[in-house]
Chain A
Amino acid sequence: MSGATHVRYELLRALRSWRTLFLSFGLPLVVYCVIVPSKRHAVTDGISFPLYFMTGMAAYGAMWGSINPGARIARDRAKGWVRALRITPLRARNEIVAKVLTAYLIALLTLALLYLAGTLFGVRLDAAQWLEMTGLLLVGLAPFVAVGIALGHVLSVDALPAAMGGFVVLLALLGGAFGQLFTSGVMLTIVKLLPSFWLVHAGKTVVGSGSWPAEGWIVVAIWTLCLIPLAAIAYRHDTAIV
């Protein structure tokens, strides 16, 4: 089963990377645990601050987890490993599926960690709500997975951290992962066009209506549908037979 072994080693490599450990797990967890105790009973955006911030930090960490395969791709490219794989029977499809699965598995671990921290600080949701929130987060991460693969096949190892970091931090910040920046006005309209806004608001969504409004689905779908072809083009360009 070439596919399974490949996924296993991809996951192992991701878990061995300090980037993953720090950006996807350590940082969001620590920030959550440091900030929440003093604001346990605060209310943000109509829901309890521990729930709001749990979703925010889970989304932030999971964005890193989803985009991070790009960093591995860029390093593998620089070392000639992407090229070396092309003279093995490994199919492109298996390779990409492994990257996507790894991104999601790491993201799920981030969610699990933050959910655990959330419950320790009094977040209570029923099983359906936890599942719905997880579902919304995974859907909303799709654009980040695609961006990671696209950037990894295009940018150099030197340029990549800045590009990925800028993308994740900017979207997380504007989306409200670190706290609500905009409650009304034109800026709110603008940030609602970002997938990160909908990721961060998955928590509020599940205690409210249960699902994103049509607007949320459309925004996430458009980002995903635009970025997947870009990732495909980047991959094909990088591995083209010249």
Chain B
Amino acid sequence: MSAPEPVRMGIELSKVAKSYSSVQAVRGIDLAVAPGETVALLGPNGAGKTTTIDMILGLSRPDSGTVAVFGASPTEAVKSGWIGGTLQDGSPPDQLRVRELVALVASYYPHPLSVDEVLRQTGIADIAERWASKLSGGQAQRVGFAAALVGDPDLLVLDEPTSGIDVEGRREFWQAMRAVAERGKTILFATHYLEEADANADRIVLMARGQIVADGPATEIKAKVGSRSIRATLPGAGLAELGALPGVLSAERHGDAITLSCSDTDAALGALLSKFPNTRDVEVSGASLEEAFLELTVDKDDHDDRDTVGVAPSLVGQELR
């Protein structure tokens, strides 16, 4: 059973739609990921990220449209060992030690990496002899990541890989993942943290309510949805000066009131207050990611849908779990 060499195409989704009973989880999306690209699927719960990932992994079949991975069907790609991944809500099986679990998964792949090497890379060499089922959430996530890596697949698909990991663990996780990306692997990961997508992906694909609402370089998407604003009363400050503060994208003035659009309100606020101690009536407001998504998607929606839009995302999220 010699697997054919992967054709140099990445992931290609064309007009893909998928419903579960009455919920339209994915509503006709087109998505292309080039080989070697790191792409974040960003969106709130219920956006359709997991459904999309399940179809790319061959765990579910689209109702309509086509999914191809390196030019093959997802099932063929999985069988050929081209894909490694972590799923949501998975935890390691019992009666296996961490090293054994990673070695077991390695044995399924035609050309696996060295188990010790992967344990070291993913920062779990020190827990290699622990029972895999008795780890903390963060450790278990990293074991899952090691298992996804060890087969040396061309495509890594990670569904919310950092859920349940603390801040330090996240930092280490992404460090390990970027090292993998540098080896030319294609990586697709789902997250609902804008910061993670921004810091770790070449490109962000924004999903909301089963649709792709934006798709572009991380910086572009971040500017679109990440903006928060600071309002304050500050007579006499120059707009150019305000606009140059760290974390500020643009500044406006209406009389004594100023409005700063920010990519990073924390940095902007700190700089504003230290540079202009006479700032008063400070008000920081910002759309949550979900609100930003709704804002981005509401125009694309039929008016009939609009009444339900406000509540839909969270409800959909519940049902898809």
Contact = CB atoms under 8 A, between A and B. Distances in A.
A6 B104 contact: yes
Query: Which of A13, A75, A87, A241 has the largest number of chain B CB atoms within 10 A?
Result: A87
A72 B89 CA distance: 18
Contact of B93 (A5, A76, A88, A89): A76
B110 interface: yes
Query: Which of B83, B104, B105 has the largest number of chain A CB atoms within 10 A?
Result: B104
B95 A17 contact: yes
B81 A80 contact: no
A242 B95 contact: no
B87 A83 contact: yes
Interface string A1-40: 1100110010011001100000000000000000000000
Interface residues of A, number: 25
Contact of B59 (A2, A16, A75, A83): A83
Given A87-B58, A89-B109, A241-B60, A75 B103 contact: no
A9 B59 contact: no
A9 B79 contact: no
A81 B95 CA distance: 13
A76 B83 CA distance: 21
Nearest to A88: B108
Interface string A62-85: 000000000010011001110110
B136 interface: no
Interface string B52-91: 0000011111000000000000010011110111110111
A4 to B, nearest CB: 8
B202 interface: no
A72 B96 CA distance: 12
Contacts of A16: 95
A102 to B, nearest CB: 12
Given A1-B107, A242-B61, A79 B133 contact: yes
A6 B107 contact: yes
B151 interface: yes
B215 interface: no
A16 B57 CA distance: 32
Contacts of B93: 13, 75-76, 79, 81
Given A1-B107, A5-B104, A80-B87, A87 B92 contact: no
A88 B84 CA distance: 7
Given A6-B104, A79-B133, A89 B78 contact: yes
Nearest to A3: B107
Q: Is the interface of B mostly helix, strand, loop or mixed?
A: loop
Contacts of B58: 86-87, 241
Interface string B146-185: 0100010000010000000000000000000000000000
B94 interface: yes
Nearest to A15: B95
Nearest to B75: A241
B264 interface: no
Query: Which of B58, B105, B109, B110 has the largest number of chain A CB atoms within 10 A?
Result: B105
A9 B109 contact: no
A17 B95 CA distance: 7
B100 interface: yes
Nearest to B91: A79
Contact of A2 (B83, B94, B100, B108): B108
A91 to B, nearest CB: 8
Contact of A89 (B80, B91, B95): B80
Nearest to A20: B95
A159 interface: no
Query: Which of B81, B95, B103 has the largest number of chain A CB atoms within 10 A?
Result: B95
A98 to B, nearest CB: 11
A88 B95 CA distance: 20
A81 B90 contact: yes
Contacts of A76: 93
A170 interface: no
Contact of B100 (A9, A79, A84, A91): A9
A181 interface: no
Interface string A217-242: 00000000000000000000000011
A90 interface: yes
A13 B95 contact: yes
A72 B93 CA distance: 9
Interface string A155-172: 000000000000000000
B125 to A, nearest CB: 20
Given A81-B92, A242-B60, A87 B107 contact: no
Contacts of B96: 9, 12-13
22 contacts: A5-B107, A12-B100, A13-B93, A16-B95, A79-B92, A79-B133, A80-B90, A84-B90, A84-B144, A84-B147, A86-B78, A87-B58, A87-B157, A88-B109, A89-B78, A89-B79, A89-B151, A90-B108, A91-B79, A241-B59, A241-B75, A242-B60
